[in-house]
Amino acid sequence: MKKWIIALFVSSLVPLQAEEAKNPVVTMVTNHGEVTIELLAKSAPATVKNFIGLAEGTKEWTSPTGEKVTKPFYDGLIFHRVINNFMIQGGCPSGTGRGKPGYTFKDEINADSLGLNEAKVFNKETGVHKNLKIYPPQQIQQMIAQPIFKKLGIDSQETLEAKQTEFEQELVKYRETLTIKDLYTSMGYNYDNKLTSFPMNTGYLAMANSGPNSNGSQFYINLKDNHYLNGKHTVFGKVTAGMEVVQKIAIVKTGARDVPEEKVQIISIRLKK
């Protein structure tokens, strides 16, 4: 009898546990159609919480006029940057790409789960890693030199000349061992090994930012696999239905600064009940 009661109690918990394991899902209604988005709560818990709070109007934010408000943030905003075969970006309260909700928060990325801890910046056969080929060679050299300057206390042309030999020795070491994770860490990115991050695949959502730990409200949807952005932006969701709507937005006519000539508007973003 006792065993039967225990078994019944345990079995009653299973649906609850399964329900708790489900990721939250939101419906984004635009003037081009509806998009269903699964939010990756275990991969980016703080980011997902922020997104839901802004979308549902339960999180306080600061309007462009400086007023503190608690109402649905995304309603009526536009996709202010649309680049076909790259991404569509929205969530800026001013519609300019420079707006924020009045605060910023940290990245949620695990570089190791993206393989950046093993991806060498330099390869003897192929040269600079493919993820870094978007940068001009001179910029890559500057990115690599900065942590060496810091390590050796080089802060002027005079100290560089005085420590030229040490600098060159360090540079040789870096070329042999430096990983993309090392490089990005030296640029200010912080990583959390407790998370499991997803790569920048087609249909995945990521936070737009202006550098490390500068997340706010802006996000973008990848129109293709943009793996060169791995490790620099928090991936927090994926489109599960309505990708054809995203692709429709991707081909709208745009003008200066990739702004659509006709408004591509977010009517609402709400949790799917």
8 band by pLDDT with thresholds 50, 70 and 90 = very low
Predicted confidence at residue 1, as pLDDT, reads 47
- What is the b/e burial string over 31-60, where b = at least 16 CB atoms within 10 angstroms of the residue's CB? ebeebbbbbbbebbeebbbbbbbbbbbebe
Neighbours of 140 (CB within 10 A): 18
Taken in order 121, 123, 124, 127, the sign of the CA dihedral is negative
Lowest mean pLDDT segment, chosen from 20-24, 49-53, 147-151, 228-232:
20-24
Give the model confidence (pLDDT) of 93-145 as tens digits: 999 999 999 999 999 999 999 999 999 999 888 889 999 988 998 998 898 89
| Angstrom distance (rounded) from CA 138 to CA 149 | 16
Which residue has 């802006």 as its token pair? 218
Given a cut of 90, whether residue 218 has pLDDT beyond it is yes
Given a cut of 80, whether residue 9 has pLDDT beyond it is no
Given a cut of 80, whether residue 5 has pLDDT beyond it is no
DSSP-based three-state secondary structure for 104:
coil
- What does pTM read for this prediction? 0.89
Would you call 149 exposed, middle or buried from its count of C-beta atoms within 10 A (0-12, 13-18, 19+)?
middle
Q: Which CATH number fits domain 22-111+191-271: 3.30.530.20, 3.40.640.10, 3.40.50.10490, 2.40.100.10?
A: 2.40.100.10
Given a cut of 80, whether residue 10 has pLDDT beyond it is no
Residue extents of the structural domains in the chain:
22-111+191-271, 120-178
The count of C-alpha atoms lying within 13 angstroms of the C-alpha of 40, restricted to the half-sphere facing its C-beta, is 20
